């Protein structure tokens, strides 16, 4: 049916939905709670004055952005609060000093957009705030510049508070601040491995500058979508080789209370650089590496290193000592793990950009079932590439 329509008419049809029903329900519920809080909170603070409306209509449009598009740069707290502040100030000023209502409304929109661009707080519903200040009638006109504080800023603060609490409660990152640049693990001037052959952040910024239009998505989110698309295409092309296919399964582990000398001996015996630290249920609670041992004996001082290491490994049978005695006292507690079914392409940023050398693999219950090293990963990439060439 759609193919029978003229091209210009097909262009007016909506695109296919990519958002789940659960996400739609989360968005609607958040807007419901946010508008309720803004309306009831403003009325409670300002008083239920007969004939006074303390909830502004533009807050409905703001609620759509904050709860349905919380990752949008236009939906961030500064965008709403800063945009509403300058738009209401400009709107009240235009209403006061420009006699013709239509001219005042047009001027308010023009000046508000310029101010929001200058202050990096572009928020579309703020344009409606500016118009409300000009065309809101005698009740709004009587408030004068008090309109800026109440109800404009009061409504905005309550709505932002609701958005922060609700979005975080349902697992969304809000405020959706620009992600910091990932530091190079070796602290050199080289680009991260995943960006040496693909596009860089500088490439993306150059394209966005040439595009010269406001996009309703942040640059770091756009870059992340591109990278995830590349990984998805790689999985489609090379197949779904997952961590369970390449991991080592016979894993040597230690516990929190294992003595340092025991852990060091296990590393030497099995020629490994790291040992997962597990509890009695085989849940990963940490990882101990050779680096964890060496950083406690000043590795920069080579003279007497062997003697210092032996002293560090020697167990002290005293009830009280400042010396580290067990693995749990020196292990790294923040451990990046992956699931058995994780595609190996997802390991690329972990082992290249983040510089991880060992990644524990856990099952659906969070129990340790394997370990993947950089050697395992390189061998897997070689095998998949070789299979592609043979096809």
In terms of Cβ atoms closer than 10 Å to its own Cβ (0-12, 13-18, 19+), residue 199 is middle
- Nearest-angstrom CA–CA distance, 86 and 111: 9
Q: Is 188 left (phi over 0), alpha (psi -120 to 50) or beta?
A: beta
- Cis preceding linkage at 378, omega within 30: no
Half-sphere exposure of 181 (CA within 13 A, CB side): 9
Q: Mean pLDDT throughout 213-221? A: 73
Per-residue confidence band for 183, with pLDDT thresholds at 50, 70 and 90: low
- Nearest-angstrom CA–CA distance, 98 and 80: 26
The whole-angstrom distance between residue 137's C-alpha and the CA centroid of its chain comes to 43
- Nearest-angstrom CA–CA distance, 326 and 248: 26
- Nearest-angstrom CA–CA distance, 4 and 253: 65
- Nearest-angstrom CA–CA distance, 135 and 130: 9
Please give the pLDDT value at position 286.
94
Q: Is the pLDDT of residue 180 over 60?
A: no
- Note the pLDDT tens digit of each residue in 32-84: 999 999 999 999 998 877 555 689 999 999 999 999 999 899 999 999 999 99
Please give the pLDDT value at position 340.
93
Lowest mean pLDDT among 91-105, 233-247, 325-339: 233-247
- Nearest-angstrom CA–CA distance, 277 and 329: 11
Please give the pLDDT value at position 73.
92
Please give the pLDDT value at position 327.
93
- Note the pLDDT tens digit of each residue in 5-26: 666 666 676 766 678 899 999 9
Q: Does the pTM of the predicted model rise above 0.85?
A: no
In terms of Cβ atoms closer than 10 Å to its own Cβ (0-12, 13-18, 19+), residue 82 is buried
DSSP track, 161-229: HHHHHHHHHTT--SS-PPPPPPPPTT-SSSPPGGGSSS--HHHHHHHHHHH-S--SS-HHHHHHHHHHH
- Note the pLDDT tens digit of each residue in 339-388: 998 988 888 788 877 778 899 999 999 999 999 988 888 887 777 666 55
Q: Is the pLDDT of residue 3 over 80?
A: no
Q: Mean pLDDT throughout 139-149? A: 92
- Nearest-angstrom CA–CA distance, 84 and 152: 7
Rounded to the nearest integer, the mean pLDDT of the chain is 84
List helix spans (H) across the chain.
Answer: 7-10, 21-46, 58-68, 77-97, 101-119, 125-135, 138-143, 146-147, 154-169, 201-211, 219-238, 243-246, 260-270, 290-294, 305-313, 348, 374-390
Percent of the chain with pLDDT over 70: 81
Lowest mean pLDDT among 234-248, 275-289, 337-351: 234-248
Per-residue confidence band for 213, with pLDDT thresholds at 50, 70 and 90: confident
């Amino acid at each position: 049916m759609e193919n029978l329509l003229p091209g210009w008419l097909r262009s007016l049809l909506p695109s296919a939905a990519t958002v789940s029903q659960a996400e739609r329900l989360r968005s609607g519920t958040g807007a419901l709670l946010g508008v309720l809080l803004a309306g009831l909170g403003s009325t409670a603070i300002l008083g239920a004055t007969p004939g006074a409306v303390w909830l502004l209509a533009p807050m409905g449009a703001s609620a759509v952005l904050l709860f349905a598009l919380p990752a949008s740069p236009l939906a961030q707290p500064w965008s709403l609060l800063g945009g509403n502040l300058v738009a209401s100030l400009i709107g009240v000023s235009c209403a006061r000093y420009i006699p013709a209502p239509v001219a005042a409304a047009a001027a308010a929109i023009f000046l508000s957009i310029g101010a929001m661009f200058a202050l990096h707080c572009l928020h579309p519903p703020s344009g409606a705030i500016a118009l409300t200040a000009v065309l809101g009638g005698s009740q709004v006109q009587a408030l004068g510049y008090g309109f800026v504080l109440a109800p404009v800023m009061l409504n905005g603060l309550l709505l932002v508070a609701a958005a922060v609490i609700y979005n975080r409660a349902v697992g969304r990152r809000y405020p959706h601040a620009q992600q910091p640049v990932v530091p190079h693990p070796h602290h050199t001037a080289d680009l991260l491995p995943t960006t040496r052959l693909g596009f860089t952040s500088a490439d993306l910024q150059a394209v966005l500058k040439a595009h010269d239009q406001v996009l309703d998505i942040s640059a770091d989110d756009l870059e992340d979508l591109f990278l995830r698309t590349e990984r998805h295409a790689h999985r489609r092309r090379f197949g779904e080789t997952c961590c369970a296919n390449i991991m080592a399964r016979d894993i040597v582990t230690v516990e929190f209370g294992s003595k340092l000398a025991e852990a060091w001996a296990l590393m030497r015996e099995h020629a490994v650089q790291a040992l997962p630290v597990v509890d009695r249920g085989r849940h990963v609670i940490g990882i101990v590496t050779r680096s964890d041992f060496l950083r406690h004996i000043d590795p920069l001082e080579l003279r007497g290193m062997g003697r210092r290491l032996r002293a560090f490994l020697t167990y002290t049978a005293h009830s009280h000592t400042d010396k580290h005695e067990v693995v749990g006292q020196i292990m790294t507690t923040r451990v990046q793990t992956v699931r058995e079914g994780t595609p190996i392409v997802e390991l690329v940023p972990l082992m290249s950009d983040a510089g991880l050398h060992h990644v524990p693999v856990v099952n659906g219950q969070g129990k340790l079932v394997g370990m993947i090293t950089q050697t395992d990963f390189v061998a897997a990439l070689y095998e998949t590439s070789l299979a592609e060439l043979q096809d």
